[in-house]
Amino acid sequence: MTDRRSFWGWGVEGGGPTDDQAAGIAATLAQRFGRDLTLADPPRIEDVKLPPSDVAVPDALQHMCCTEPWDRAGHTYGKAYRDVIRALRNDFSAAPAVVAFPETEDDVVALLDWSAGSGRAAVPYGGGSSVVGGVECPGAVSIDLTRLDRVLEVDPVSRAARIQVGALGPVLEEQLRPHGYTLRHFPQSFEFSTLGGWLATRSGGHYATVYTHIDDMVESMRVVTPSGVSESRRLPGSGAGPSPDRMFLGSEGILGVITEAWMRVQDRPRWRASAGVRFGSYLDGVAATRAVSQAALFPTNCRLLDSAEAVISAGVQDVEGALLVLGFESADHPVDGWMARAVELCQDHGGTIPEGVRTSGPEDESEGASREGAVGAWRNAFVRAPYTRDALARMAVIADTFETSCTWDAFESFHGAVTATVEDALREICGDGWVTCRFTHVYPDGPAPYFSIIAPGRRGSELEMWDEVKAAASEAVLAHGGTITHHHAVGRDHRPWYDRQRPEPFAAALVAAKRELDPAGVLNPGVLIDPLP
């Protein structure tokens, strides 16, 4: 394992399972699916054929632009299943013409000026972890923002920090740690995604409730648009017109390039309580989770796993109905009272806690402690899941996730219908496969269910098979009241369903805003809306 980012798959080179481990996974799945699974070799950069880079970079920008194969190949795709499959096939036909590495906001301005002036598409690129085709644009200038990675200011009174958008999760946290702070935003992609990517896609953090969405942590933002720089005022709250920040949050790079933001940070947690609550029936688990989410207790973790998810993502084998991973934490006070009430609510719905509640106080506080035990194991498995997905892709296994949200009243029929539809699709398209579900976030009015699928594919047909399964899943999500994405964004891949979900007048307004801010239509064309004519 090196520090160099993989040009074709998740994370760093060699960061996934070893070949032996991958072979073990293949053997297990082969048995489960009753068919042979062989492990394709990862692509080698020297075998990659890139389209010629047909671009004349102005002299003034040469120093930050690069056309090396590794960089162009590495910036061709995000990290969706279909991206990895195409990379495994040595298909990098969608490569950008050039990768730019701005080091200042002025560099970004200069790049957009060039892009708008020449009509060449420009794609803001953070960690490249998009799973929705958010950074894929053949022949574009890929603007890699990871050199803009500094925490520029820390305000310890307001507990806020001014942070450049290119900071990857660990880079940002490392700079906040000496001040005693954390942004406390831990999406699964944490290691390989940036603040800017989180902002542009309305990322959801690891935590279950309250301040976990990146939207709610923004105090102000700077955005370079082709028509000028937008800077909002640092404000804890405001009612002065529609929120300017909310227009750029979720705009996925089509309106401008976010360059920095004042973010609300938090004291590092010192007290913790966690428990694994078991339910004999899945719907009892759902009812308990709903009760907890509506009690204004604001747990940090409230992740309901179905029995298959309990095995896969928590390593717990004997769950009959559901396992609720429940947690509270605080930088200010012990959280036993909060946990006690949540446990009561779970018990009211038939929940049991065979292993009891686990608590830790300030004396246990250390980086190490919080990474140990079951929670630590779960977290490690969680952040390593995308590596495993790549190994599965190498076996021609169809492995993907889709995530959504719906209201509590709709959930039972939603879950039933979506699961049945996708299971049917897997049987029909793949001959086998399974669907699991967990909640990533819970709101007083509904959960955010996250589905994972694994099914045997046929080498050479993975994309077509994936497309069919994805379409079936997306249709079911939309038909039964969900959103096409809760925190993975729209990109290019979710467009057909997004187009049916968002109100038409809003789409028209968004196009109008785009025309105003990016009249040449160069910014990430095809994402969210059609390219401007």
Residues in 110-149 that interact with a copy of itself by CB under 8 A: none
Query: Of 159, 379, 384, 459, which one interacts with a copy of itself (CB under 8 A)?
Result: 159
Q: Which residues pair with 225 in a beta bridge?
A: 228
533 binds a copy of itself (CB under 8 A): no
Nearest to a copy of itself of 377, 512 (CB atom): 512
Spell out the long-range contacts of 22-26 with Cβ–Cβ below 8 A and sequence spacing 24 or more.
Answer: 22/391, 22/394, 22/395, 25/388, 25/391, 25/392, 25/395, 26/395
242 binds a copy of itself (CB under 8 A): yes
d(C-alpha 306, C-alpha 415), whole Å: 11
Question: 479 with 406: CB under 8 angstroms?
Answer: no
d(C-alpha 520, C-alpha 531), whole Å: 10
238 binds a copy of itself (CB under 8 A): yes
Nearest to a copy of itself of 153, 428 (CB atom): 153
**Strand order from edge to edge, sheet including 228-231:** 151-155, 160-164, 257-264, 218-225, 228-231
Give the shortest CB-400-to-a copy of itself separation in angstroms: 17
d(C-alpha 57, C-alpha 77), whole Å: 22
219 binds a copy of itself (CB under 8 A): yes
Question: 147 with 105: CB under 8 angstroms?
Answer: no
Residue appearing with tokens 């305000």? 155
d(C-alpha 461, C-alpha 465), whole Å: 6
Nearest to a copy of itself of 250, 431 (CB atom): 250
Question: 293 with 443: CB under 8 angstroms?
Answer: yes
Give the shortest CB-271-to-a copy of itself separation in angstroms: 11
494 binds a copy of itself (CB under 8 A): yes
Binding mask 298-337 for a copy of itself (x = CB under 8 A): x-------------------------------xxxx---x
182 binds a copy of itself (CB under 8 A): no
Query: Of 36, 46, 59, 157, which one interacts with a copy of itself (CB under 8 A)?
Result: 157
Query: Of 76, 232, 289, 401, which one interacts with a copy of itself (CB under 8 A)?
Result: 232
d(C-alpha 77, C-alpha 108), whole Å: 21
Contacts of 533 (CB under 8 A, 6+ apart): none
Nearest to a copy of itself of 366, 506 (CB atom): 506
Contacting a copy of itself within 199-218 (CB under 8 A): 201-204, 210-211, 213
d(C-alpha 442, C-alpha 314), whole Å: 19
Contacting a copy of itself within 282-301 (CB under 8 A): 290, 294-298
Where does this chain touch a copy of itself (CB under 8 A) — which range of 33-41, 69-77, 364-372, 399-407?
399-407
Query: Of 1, 27, 40, 235, which one interacts with a copy of itself (CB under 8 A)?
Result: 235
Strand spans (E) along 238-367: 257-264, 266-267, 271-279, 301-306, 322-330, 358-360
Q: What six digits make up the tokens of 525?
A: 């064309």
503 binds a copy of itself (CB under 8 A): yes
Where does this chain touch a copy of itself (CB under 8 A) — which range of 33-41, 119-127, 154-162, 372-380?
154-162
Residues that bind a copy of itself (rule: CB under 8 A) add up to a total of: 99
Query: Of 38, 355, 508, 530, which one interacts with a copy of itself (CB under 8 A)?
Result: 508
Contacting a copy of itself within 337-366 (CB under 8 A): 337, 341, 345
Query: Of 59, 240, 354, 533, which one interacts with a copy of itself (CB under 8 A)?
Result: 240
Query: Of 34, 52, 354, 505, which one interacts with a copy of itself (CB under 8 A)?
Result: 505
Contacting a copy of itself within 37-56 (CB under 8 A): none
d(C-alpha 260, C-alpha 374), whole Å: 36
Nearest to a copy of itself of 6, 209 (CB atom): 209
Give the shortest CB-164-to-a copy of itself separation in angstroms: 18
Query: Of 34, 178, 241, 356, which one interacts with a copy of itself (CB under 8 A)?
Result: 241
Give the shortest CB-272-to-a copy of itself separation in angstroms: 13
Strand spans (E) along 71-148: 98-100, 122-125, 141-144
What sign does the CA torsion over 125, 45, 131, 76 have?
positive
Nearest to a copy of itself of 53, 115 (CB atom): 115
Contacting a copy of itself within 426-485 (CB under 8 A): 441, 443-448, 481-485
CA-wise closest residue to 99 among 64, 138, 58, 134: 64
Give the shortest CB-298-to-a copy of itself separation in angstroms: 7
Contacts of 174 (CB under 8 A, 6+ apart): none
Contacting a copy of itself within 250-289 (CB under 8 A): 250-252, 255-256, 264, 266-267
Strand spans (E) along 56-120: 65-66, 98-100
Instruction: Using CB atoms within 10 Å of the CB of residue 150, give its burial: 0 to 12 exposed, 13 to 18 middle, 19+ buried.
Output: middle
Nearest to a copy of itself of 13, 267 (CB atom): 267
Query: Of 90, 511, 531, 532, which one interacts with a copy of itself (CB under 8 A)?
Result: 511
Give the shortest CB-313-to-a copy of itself separation in angstroms: 21
Contacting a copy of itself within 402-431 (CB under 8 A): 405-410
Q: What six digits make up the tokens of 397?
A: 């296994």
Residue 292 dihedral angles phi and psi, to the nearest 5°? -65, -40
75 binds a copy of itself (CB under 8 A): no
Nearest to a copy of itself of 34, 237 (CB atom): 237
Beta strands 141-144 and 122-125 are parallel
Give the shortest CB-190-to-a copy of itself separation in angstroms: 16
